Amino acid sequence: MFGKIDVEKTKGSLIVRNEIIEKLYKELGVRFGYSFNDLYGVKGGVVRRLKGGIISDEMYRRGEINNMKLYNELFNKVKEYLENLEFEGFKIEFNKLSGNYGWYEYRLMKERGFEGNFNDYKEESIYNEGTCILKIKWDV
């Protein structure tokens, strides 16, 4: 799958992960927690993938942790910040989980009163998605 594993790059990706988490908190007041951490091979490289979520201390103090409008604004701010960070030898990507938004789920939503077409359903589902994916990539 990976070919020859570069142990130093793998360790380096852990350091980058820790620096990202620290910078988010110190510079933006945002905590990134994750419950899933894996490595997988891609053409010409390797990716460390973390699945988790973000919360700002301010949103938490105000009790607005379920406000999706504020969450999406925070997500966009964090995405822009992270994708402008530079770590030598690593590329950072930050996105929301793009789940399986299929016809079956769409039909269930329609039965529950959702108004709109399939594209409206997908757009709303992604808007309401709270799981974030942080990818740290490097070449092999």
What are 48-93's pLDDT values in tens digits?
999 999 999 998 899 888 888 899 999 999 999 999 999 999 999 9
pLDDT at 96 over 50: yes
Average pLDDT over residues 97-122: 86
CA distances 44 to 3, 11, 41, 99, 128, Å, are: 10, 18, 8, 26, 33
pLDDT at 133 over 70: yes
Q: How far apart are the first and last CA of the chain?
A: 12
Give the span between the Cα atoms of 125 and 129, in whole angstroms.
6
In degrees and rounded to multiples of 5, residue 137 shows phi and psi of: -110, 150
* Residue 6: DSSP 8-state: -
Q: Are 44 and 37 in contact (CB under 8 A)?
A: no
pLDDT at residue 8, as a whole number: 87
pLDDT at residue 1, as a whole number: 46
Dihedral sign, Cα of residue 11, residue 13, residue 14, residue 16: positive
